[in-house]
Structure 1
Amino acid sequence: YRYVKIAIKLAENRNARDCMGDVLAVGGQVMGYVEPLPSINDVMIRGHEYSLKTGNISSASMSLAGSMVCEYWSGKQLSVVKSTMDDTLRRMSAQCVVPLLMQFLPFYRSALAMIGKVDDVPMVFGSRADVETEEERKMTETNLHLLKSTHFNKMYVGFMFRRYDEVKQLADAHDAIAALPFSAILISHCFHMFYWGLISFWVARKTGDVIWYDRGKEAVQKMRSYANFSSWNFLNKSLLLQAEQYFYLKEFESAKRCYDDAISFAKDYRFVHEEALACELAGYFLVERGERTSSLPYFLRAQR
């Protein structure tokens, strides 16, 4: 993070406009582990503007994709996010930025799934953007980033809609896919870890297999370390993972406290989607405890 800040300052001091777009596009990913996510969106937009001025289409597209990631995971209104994503896809398609476009499509489909039935989607290379093509499936055999992105987003959507059998099947393959080499630091990786932890504790409770608990515990440790650098971005996530961990361990009072704290901090930091998620998971926790009446306010709050 310090090196990124130094690189930005050097580029500014030397008026190095030709490289500023690249510095912001790549450096913004690292900054997302420290600075509030909404401010990183501003960094990505600046990077996009610099890259356009210098004709660096690849870097401009990278910044746009980074901006979309920040918008979505910071909890911005989904209709606004979709509109911006549609525009981004059209630009990438027109500029033939094929690898990045393909890597962006699984994420775009996750956003569509959260919205519900959507008829208005852009065309990408002659196909609707909401339909996975045979070309994409073939690309996952050689493009490790696309494989990871596709796998995570399918698992994420399955988790959000509580499709356990589907999630379990995808989760069984996760370790092998997650272990594949990938050199870049991306802000999306921390969100992957967050949901992987939630999924692991869910599977652990369903199966009773301690290996899934160990995977969830590793995610707790990771998220705690992230929260040490940015409580804004990661404290509520760390608390929600801890709540799920306590749920598995049958430490119910600690679990209830962590659910409530996760909800509170998600609200304070304006992660409205994660506030809703924490409410929903707290509701399921109470239902499984036999406290159906107590669960109702949580489920109602999740739907607001």
Structure 2
Amino acid sequence: MAIVCEKSPKAIFQDLLVAIQAGLIQPLSELDEDLLVQEYKFLHDRVQQAAYALIDESCKQVVHLQIGRNLLEKTSPEQRFDRLFTIVDHLDQGTELVTAQPERTEIARLNLMAGQKAKSATAYEAAFKYFTTGLQLLDTESWLTEYDLTLALYSEAAEAAYLQGCFDEMEQLVEVVLARAKTVVDKVQAYDSRIQGYLSQGNLKETLKTGLEALKLLGIDLIENPSRADIQRELESTAALLAQREIEDLINLPEIAAPEPLAAISILSNMVSAAFITLPALWILIVCKRVNLSINYGNTTWSPHSYACYGLVLCGVVQDIELGYKFGQLALSLAERLNTKKGNVKALLFLSTHVMHLKVHLRNTIPLLVEAYQEGVETGDFEFAGYAAYYLCHNSFFAGEELTQLEQKTVIYSKAINQIRRESPSSWLTILRQTILNLLDRSLNPSRLVGRVCNEEEALPHAIAVKDGTAIQMFYLYKVILCYLFGEYYQAVQTAVSARQYLEEVTAIKVLPLFCFYHSLALLNLSFDVSNSEKSTWLNSVNTNQEKMQKWAEHAPMNYLHKFYLVEAEKARVLGQFLEAEEFYERAIQGARENEYIHEEALAYELAAKHYLARGREKFAQLYMKEAHYCY
């Protein structure tokens, strides 16, 4: 108040004395050495409102402007950031009285700073208001006279508009930037906002189209539908660059300084999820290009995610799980070194979803996905927050979380995903939730994904139409599981056959072990009253699945060895090798129990019980079925 009123603290104390004695104002601090109280508060908000109402309406703008000017003048540069909102809020209420353009420009600059501060605190509506107020203060020639300020206000306003879901306003602001910005680098933030806007709305095709357009301006011409030869060439290029370095040394690369490569990495990074979902071959090129840029020019906030993605390429394409996992560890170490939540969110999400299940217990990924979700929301990375919300429910399901509890978790995260406006993970979660409802006997036909939250007759055609590979993979996976568990083995096998074309991509590695598991179990439960050639074909499919499962079990026995044993048990049963079958059932039960896969322990008990019943060993069958019931 001393600054605002341009009086000494002693004079202010005398002015307030009557209000203090009347109890309208209360001291907050003790008397200082001059016997003065330095801090006060109103008795109640209504007292403050009543005092404000006493100011004549015609004078309020003048008062606010004067307060803002005094605070700005008397506040030291060191204290200005802390008082920024107070200063700007007063100035903004008096801008109609400011006619000199230099002062209007200065207030616009303060609004830019206030908007950036609000955005970093995830107050996106307030940030948008500050940015647009700043724009209103500029004159018609500002693109010529105040280029940097004008560019920053338009670019920041576009991003804030996207972050609060105002896509029409975002598009208008982006159009201005793309028309007036001098260089490609200056257009990058606007392109990023447009890409994120399309991602929010689930428009993955336009996401990639926009990204490819921006990359061309930066001199990077990616092939939208690369051939195997194109992919192999890019993989060899990246491998050649990496051959010159130890993996551990990549963490010590300098931070990138060149603006063009930094802009390219930013665009590539914002495209990566859309490519992963719809065009996996393009995704591999994007991953390699990002890694190449980091090696050649230095690390960035995006580099941890780049290395995590490359880890998946190594696991899924090159078939080198150990090396892929090392790149995953590099990603986490670099994110910690860079001390950036945004980089950490992306690395955590990707590793927890696609790589870690090949080396550590699936349950260990769940707290990491919770962390990724929380940090994504905190930093405004709603795209990856949405993915993390879905995958922590997905991983919880396959780790054996109790279904009633998990169904409630999916409800909570469905609401959260809808609040941050993420179309793709929202649709994935409805498929998972309907699967859970079916297993809880809350649908008319438990083997069909039709019920309260999902209709397979609409969901699958839509996913295919928009090329949402993740939705398609998840739909078929859950469908195979439901058909198998509810005894529709032929339908389970037919569903697995339909899914095959969508499981050949590197992006399917997160679901492929589960597909192989349930596909094999379904095949082994078909009627074998068929021709020898057909029986041989089915067994060959099982053996092919088991070869893959054995490799995964070598690297992550806690997740996959008991699955391998259970399929071996069923295969031995079908082949009449009953003693071997019983040995494998016991190994499957023990492995599932030791690793706390209670739902798969239950399944192993159930299948063993059916085996004993078929052999006329009713007491064994009864005992094992009771154990299965207990686990379920």
TM-score where L is the length of structure 2 = 0.44
Shift of 1:222: 1.6
**1:106-131 deviation digits (Å, cap 9, x = unpaired):** 2222211222227xxxxxxxx94244
Name 1:121's counterpart in structure 2: none
Of residues 232-241 and 192-201 in structure 1, the stretch that sits farther from structure 2 once superposed is 192-201
Shift of 1:86: 1.0
Name 2:615's counterpart in structure 1: 289
**Structure 2 contact 477–514 (Cα < 8 Å) conserved:** no
Name 1:187's counterpart in structure 2: 510
Name 1:55's counterpart in structure 2: 380
**1:164-221 deviation digits (Å, cap 9, x = unpaired):** 3433442443434534xx3425533322222122122223746462111111112222
Shift of 1:238: 1.3
Residue in structure 2 matching 1:215, options 541, 544, 547: 541
Taking structure 1 as reference, are residues 93 and 293 closer, same or farther at Cα in structure 2, changes over 3 Å only? Answer: same
Taking structure 1 as reference, are residues 51 and 97 closer, same or farther at Cα in structure 2, changes over 3 Å only? Answer: same
Residue in structure 2 matching 1:199, options 495, 517, 522: 522
Aligned residue identity for 2:617? E
Tell me, yes or no, if structure 1 residue 303 matches structure 2 residue 626.
no
**1:71-90 deviation digits (Å, cap 9, x = unpaired):** 11111111111111111112
Taking structure 1 as reference, are residues 135 and 268 closer, same or farther at Cα in structure 2, changes over 3 Å only? Answer: closer
Name 1:242's counterpart in structure 2: 568
Taking structure 1 as reference, are residues 173 and 301 closer, same or farther at Cα in structure 2, changes over 3 Å only? Answer: same
Tell me, yes or no, if structure 1 residue 159 matches structure 2 residue 484.
yes
Shift of 1:157: 0.3
Tell me, yes or no, if structure 1 residue 224 matches structure 2 residue 528.
no
Tell me, yes or no, if structure 1 residue 276 matches structure 2 residue 599.
no
Supply the RMSD in Å over aligned alpha carbons.
2.3
Name 2:559's counterpart in structure 1: 233
Provide the C-alpha distance between the structure 2 equivalents of 1:128 and 1:32, rounded to a whole number of angstroms: 31
Shift of 1:103: 2.6
**Structure 2 contact 585–608 (Cα < 8 Å) conserved:** yes
Which of these two proteins has the greater Rg computed from alpha carbons? 2
Taking structure 1 as reference, are residues 185 and 134 closer, same or farther at Cα in structure 2, changes over 3 Å only? Answer: closer
Provide the C-alpha distance between the structure 2 equivalents of 1:188 and 1:173, rounded to a whole number of angstroms: 15
Of residues 127-136 and 206-215 in structure 1, the stretch that sits farther from structure 2 once superposed is 127-136
Shift of 1:147: 2.3
**1:1-304 aligned within 5 A:** 1-29=325-353, 30-117=355-442, 128-132=452-456, 134=458, 136-141=460-465, 142-179=467-504, 182-184=505-507, 186-203=509-526, 205=528, 207=530, 209-304=535-630
> Secondary structure of the residue that 2:358 maps to in structure 1?
coil
Provide the C-alpha distance between the structure 2 equivalents of 1:135 and 1:68, rounded to a whole number of angstroms: 19
Gaps of 5+ in 2: 1-324, 444-450
Provide the C-alpha distance between the structure 2 equivalents of 1:192 and 1:302, rounded to a whole number of angstroms: 22
Taking structure 1 as reference, are residues 270 and 184 closer, same or farther at Cα in structure 2, changes over 3 Å only? Answer: same
Shift of 1:277: 0.4
Gaps of 5+ in 1: 119-126
**Structure 1 contact 25–47 (Cα < 8 Å) conserved:** yes
Taking structure 1 as reference, are residues 60 and 206 closer, same or farther at Cα in structure 2, changes over 3 Å only? Answer: farther
**Structure 1 contact 240–278 (Cα < 8 Å) conserved:** yes
**Structure 1 contact 243–258 (Cα < 8 Å) conserved:** yes
Provide the C-alpha distance between the structure 2 equivalents of 1:302 and 1:146, rounded to a whole number of angstroms: 31
Shift of 1:41: 0.7
Taking structure 1 as reference, are residues 116 and 135 closer, same or farther at Cα in structure 2, changes over 3 Å only? Answer: closer
Of residues 288-297 and 56-65 in structure 1, the stretch that sits farther from structure 2 once superposed is 288-297
Of residues 78-87 and 137-146 in structure 1, the stretch that sits farther from structure 2 once superposed is 137-146
> Secondary structure of the residue that 1:270 maps to in structure 2?
coil
Taking structure 1 as reference, are residues 236 and 282 closer, same or farther at Cα in structure 2, changes over 3 Å only? Answer: same
Of residues 64-73 and 255-264 in structure 1, the stretch that sits farther from structure 2 once superposed is 64-73
Name 1:124's counterpart in structure 2: none
Provide the C-alpha distance between the structure 1 equivalents of 2:551 and 2:493, rounded to a whole number of angstroms: 27
**Structure 1 contact 247–255 (Cα < 8 Å) conserved:** yes
**Structure of higher RCO (CA pairs closer than 8 Å, 6+ residues apart):** 1
Provide the C-alpha distance between the structure 2 equivalents of 1:83 and 1:206, rounded to a whole number of angstroms: 44
**Structure 1 contact 69–188 (Cα < 8 Å) conserved:** no
**Structure 1 contact 48–61 (Cα < 8 Å) conserved:** yes
Shift of 1:272: 0.7
Taking structure 1 as reference, are residues 35 and 206 closer, same or farther at Cα in structure 2, changes over 3 Å only? Answer: farther
**Structure 1 contact 217–245 (Cα < 8 Å) conserved:** no
Percent of aligned positions with the same letter in both sequences?
19
Aligned residue identity for 1:254? E
**Structure 1 contact 203–212 (Cα < 8 Å) conserved:** no
**Structure 1 contact 38–74 (Cα < 8 Å) conserved:** yes
> Secondary structure of the residue that 1:203 maps to in structure 2?
coil
**Structure 2 contact 373–388 (Cα < 8 Å) conserved:** yes
Provide the C-alpha distance between the structure 2 equivalents of 1:236 and 1:33, rounded to a whole number of angstroms: 14
Shift of 1:273: 0.4
**Structure 2 contact 434–452 (Cα < 8 Å) conserved:** no
How many residue pairs end up in the alignment?
295
